[in-house]
Amino acid sequence: PVLVETILNVPDVITDNVKQVITALLWSRHIGKALLVFQAHAVVLKLLNDALDWKPASYLH
């Protein structure tokens, strides 16, 4: 559920990247390694999201 919510909250700008990560995750025979890769991509995607949608107020919560 958490992954789904995260994916749904990703901006359209980087949706393609998310799809690529999911595809790699689903096709990977080494799920553990794939999860680590997914987590790494999730961090990068969050940084991209922050850069594309910079709202200082959002960090005050």
Span 1-60, pLDDT tens digits: 566 666 566 566 567 777 777 777 677 656 667 677 778 888 888 887 777 776 655 555
At 58 the pLDDT is 55
At 17 the pLDDT is 76
Structure tokens at 30: 């080494």
Q: Which residues of 48-59 are buried (b: 16+ CB within 10 A; e: fewer)?
A: eeeeeeeeeeee
Q: From residue 43, give the alpha-carbon distance in Å to each of 6, 27, 46, 61.
A: 11, 21, 5, 20
Residues 40 and 29: their CA atoms lie apart, in Å, by: 18
Would the pTM of this model clear 0.75, i.e. be above it? no
Structure tokens at 13: 């700008």
